[in-house]
């Protein structure tokens, strides 16, 4: 399978971002910040709903402000709906998206837990 790349730009530059390197994308003050696996980040002004149109099935919007790469999730704490991703960041899944999130995560994994 060929490597998928997003070409994202802002006022200063355009950058090629490898989709598999995206940990999560978060909105802050109307700006989308791409957090990448190499401890870098890139900021652009595209809204999440537009960005999500270009992402593959293993990305999921967990709340109004955040899309996460399901392949980067290390653990899920059910009681408080927190997830921990590979760079040790904790993110919260909204109550409304919790059921769909669990189904999306289960479809990406072999499940042994109850």
> Where on the phi/psi map is residue 31: left (φ > 0), alpha (ψ -120 to 50), or beta?
beta
Evaluate if residue 1 carries a pLDDT over 60: no
Rounded mean pLDDT of 7-16? Answer: 92
* pLDDT, averaged across the chain: 91
Q: Residue 112 domain-assigned?
A: no
Q: Residue 98 domain-assigned?
A: yes
CATH of the domain at 62: 2.40.50.1020
Per-residue pLDDT band for 108 (boundaries 50, 70, 90) equals confident
At 99, give phi and psi (nearest 5°).
-65, -50
Domains of the chain: total:
1
Question: Tens of pLDDT along 32-87?
Answer: 999 999 899 999 999 999 999 999 999 999 999 999 999 999 999 988 999 999 98
Evaluate if residue 2 carries a pLDDT over 70: no
Task: Please state, as a whole number, how many other Cβ atoms lie within 10 Å of the Cβ of residue 23.
Answer: 22
Q: Residue 75 domain-assigned?
A: yes
Task: Say if pTM beats, i.e. exceeds, 0.85.
Answer: yes
Q: Residue 88 domain-assigned?
A: yes
Q: Residue 76 domain-assigned?
A: yes
């Amino acid at each position: 399978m060929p490597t998928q790349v997003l070409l994202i730009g802002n006022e200063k530059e355009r950058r090629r971002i490898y989709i598999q390197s995206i940990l999560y994308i978060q909105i802050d003050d109307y700006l989308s910040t791409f957090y990448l696996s190499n401890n870098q980040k890139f900021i652009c002004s595209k809204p999440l709903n537009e960005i999500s149109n270009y992402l593959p099935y293993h990305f999921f919007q967990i709340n109004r402000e955040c899309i996460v790469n399901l392949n980067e999730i290390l653990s899920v704490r059910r009681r408080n709906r927190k997830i921990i991703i590979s760079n040790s960041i904790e993110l919260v899944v909204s109550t409304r998206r919790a059921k769909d999130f669990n189904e999306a995560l289960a479809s990406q994994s072999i499940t042994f837990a109850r």
